[in-house]
Amino acid sequence: MNIFERLSLLTGEEGLEKLKKSRVLVFGAGGVGSWAAEALVRSGIGKIGIIDNDIICASNVNRQIEATTLTLGLPKASTLKNRLLEINPQCEVTAWDELFCLENASIFGIKNADYVIDAIDTLTHKLDLIETVYNAGVSLFSSMGMALKMDPSLIKIASIWKTDGCPLAKLVRQGLRKRKFTGDFSVVYSSELLTRTEPSVFVPGQKTVNGSIVTVTATAGLFLASMVINDVLKKETNE
């Protein structure tokens, strides 16, 4: 059984081997990160790590690939790991049911990764991850805000310094400037701005919950996976 027969017709055996030798860490297994992880495993990535400390709840089912009515209450990272191993049992999948922060950054082996995908929602942890990955010299692809969006055709790829119309990207830039960060990395973002006010609700004691849809979040995740895959394939074999 060759589950990558159709893939190898595009990449060639040499390209497929490059993918198998690549290690990717995905921080955040939500509406964006979960789809990025699945696409990477379905595209032959040989080693992948999933980092997320959340538990699957009913509101995740509309957009997160590991979330179903049968997985409610289970940890996102470990549940996604089980799914990925069903797709490719030969893939080396590691799951950390942990929250990324500076205090535990060393446990994830960031320096040993070839790529990091940032699909974290919380601004402080997102900024911490960006700095950590950049300082480690690892290639980073980051997702900006995908809530309050309805049109996946408006999703784009750009430098973090050159996005437009994305409130989260603006906050990320402001945070990076305060930290004297001068590096660069590519992000997936959308400039779409919904005019309706209904897609948000404030839950007392919690953060504001924004409306989101799988056609947008999944597309962003597939963009991120594609960025990794295409970068792997363009690298010289002797690198």
- Identify the band that residue 1 occupies on the pLDDT scale cut at 50, 70 and 90: confident
Domain residue extents for the chain: 19-233
Q: In sequence order, which residues have a C-beta less than 8 Å from that of residue 69 and are 6 or more positions away?
A: 58, 61
Task: Inform me whether the pLDDT recorded for 135 exceeds 90.
Answer: yes
- How many whole angstroms separate alpha carbon 34 and alpha carbon 30? 5
- How many whole angstroms separate alpha carbon 168 and alpha carbon 160? 11
Q: What digits encode the pLDDT tens for the residues 138-157?
A: 999 999 999 999 999 999 99
Give the mean pLDDT of 58-75. Answer: 97
Q: What digits encode the pLDDT tens for the residues 209-223?
A: 789 999 999 999 999
Task: Inform me whether the pLDDT recorded for 198 exceeds 80.
Answer: no
Using DSSP, state whether 160 is helix, strand or coil: helix
Residue 196: the pLDDT is 57
- Identify the band that residue 195 occupies on the pLDDT scale cut at 50, 70 and 90: low
- How many whole angstroms separate alpha carbon 67 and alpha carbon 212? 15
Residue 209: the pLDDT is 79
CATH class of 19-233: alpha beta
- How many whole angstroms separate alpha carbon 127 and alpha carbon 60? 24
How many other C-beta atoms can be found within 10 angstroms of the C-beta atom of residue 143? 28
- How many whole angstroms separate alpha carbon 89 and alpha carbon 82? 9
The answer to whether 143 and 37 are in contact (CB under 8 A) is: no
CA atoms within 13 A on the CB side of 174: 8
Predicted TM-score (pTM) of this structure: 0.93
Task: Inform me whether the pLDDT recorded for 202 exceeds 70.
Answer: no
Residue 37: the pLDDT is 98
- How many whole angstroms separate alpha carbon 123 and alpha carbon 144? 10
Residue 235: the pLDDT is 84
How many other C-beta atoms can be found within 10 angstroms of the C-beta atom of residue 102? 12
Residue 213: the pLDDT is 96
The one-letter code for the residue type at 239 is E
Counting other chains too, the contacts that 162-171 makes at CB distance below 8 Å and 24 or more residues apart are 163/187, 163/189, 163/191, 164/191, 165/190, 165/191, 165/192, 165/193, 166/190, 166/191, 168/123, 168/144, 169/144, 169/145, 171/123
Residue 191: the pLDDT is 93
Burial of residue 236 (number of CB atoms within 10 Å: 0-12, 13-18, 19+): exposed
